[in-house]
Amino acid sequence: MKQRNENSPSRRSFLASAAVAASAAHATQKRPLEPLSPGIKISLQIPADYTDDDLTFAKQLGVEYVSIPGRAGTYEIYAEHKRRVEAAGLKVANIGNSAVHNMPEVTLNLPGRDAKIEEYKQYLRNLAKAGIYYTTYAHMGNGIWSSQPETTRGGARARAFRLETAKGYWAGAVFEPPLSHGRKYTEQELWENYTYFIRQVAPVAEEVGVRIGIHPDDPPVLELAGIPRPIFGTFAGYMRALEIANSPNVGVCLCCGCWLEGGKGMGKDLIGAIREFARLGKLWKVHFRNVSAPLPYFVETFVDNGYFDMKQAMRALVEVDFRGILIADHVPQMVGDRRTGWAYSIGYIKALYDMARDERRRA
């Protein structure tokens, strides 16, 4: 019998090919999503430069989680946040990064797009390495649009939106009409740019096990200063976007306030959106806030003072067994220091959660 030559060219070629295949398989190996434990994770947003008093305040409110904003950051920074928060007896719900949270370069295909996408990928890797497996992403081409602050109940200072006076703001940049970026963009361009982005970052999220919850446009106006908002300004847009992503790691950060701003223009009401996104297993974070009225004009207000009955939203979240993060957001400024409004909102939210759970048990 002829002896096999282990060093023949064909054998070496086969072994090299096998090694490449094994390496590729290892490189694309996916980390399974960590199951979400039962119960809503009510979380307090604390400042990026939070103090020990901010952590004590969270504990006094009776929450177990904190959410931390930020601009850029390394694994070491995220790990230190996690160490410090856990030393205080709390848990990190998520750590934001405004440098890659909302990127005109990506949304509008501006110079620097690919560099921003790589920055975002590294952000996902840094989070996962630090043991943080959720992040919120927004996809607005020219920021969050607001008018001058107004007042809500009792004279509390709050964000407002009037189309005729609004401007866009994000990370120090200001976007103004009539054309914030020098020309009108088409809806097709926006969809192509989203597809280009999400199909690059979703595999990295799958590799490291991070959930990406995508925030609605704020406000969900069809077009602002030449930039259409066809993707995350309607329910149908969300559904198409999730289909394009085609990833278990891409889901929804449902901002109740933005959804209520959009009103009937969203194509599905807030309760319907909660139920449908939960049915799909895509509802991972909720911004629990209220507004005075749907577009074209609104003022952000207290949870119990807007046009929507937020008791119904909490009942729906309990009904669908929502297990993600829930925060108060855009809280009106009450008298006292910045903590006053947050204490009111978190207390009200906790009471609603207790109410909804008790009703569910008795049903």
- For position 14, what pLDDT does the model report? 31
Question: What's the whole-number average pLDDT of the chain?
Answer: 92
Global confidence as pTM: 0.91
Of the two residues 16 and 264, the one the predictor is more confident about is 264
Confidence of residue 72 (pLDDT cuts 50, 70, 90): confident
Q: How far apart are CA 91 and CA 88, in angstroms?
A: 9
The model's pLDDT over 20-41, given as tens digits with 9 standing for 90+, comes to 333 343 446 899 999 999 999 9
Confidence of residue 73 (pLDDT cuts 50, 70, 90): confident
- For position 28, what pLDDT does the model report? 64
Lowest-pLDDT choice from 21-35, 76-90, 162-176: 21-35
Q: Which of 67, 200, 192, 42 is nearest to 124 (CA)?
A: 200
Q: How far apart are CA 324 and CA 357, in angstroms?
A: 16
Structural domains present in the chain: 34-362 (3.20.20.150)
- For position 15, what pLDDT does the model report? 35
Q: Residues of the chain with pLDDT > 70: what percent?
A: 92
Q: How far apart are CA 44 and CA 42, in angstroms?
A: 7
- For position 10, what pLDDT does the model report? 41
Q: Is the pLDDT of residue 187 over 70?
A: yes
Helix (H) or strand (E) holding 253: strand 250-255
Q: Which tokens in the block code for residue 126?
A: 């840094």
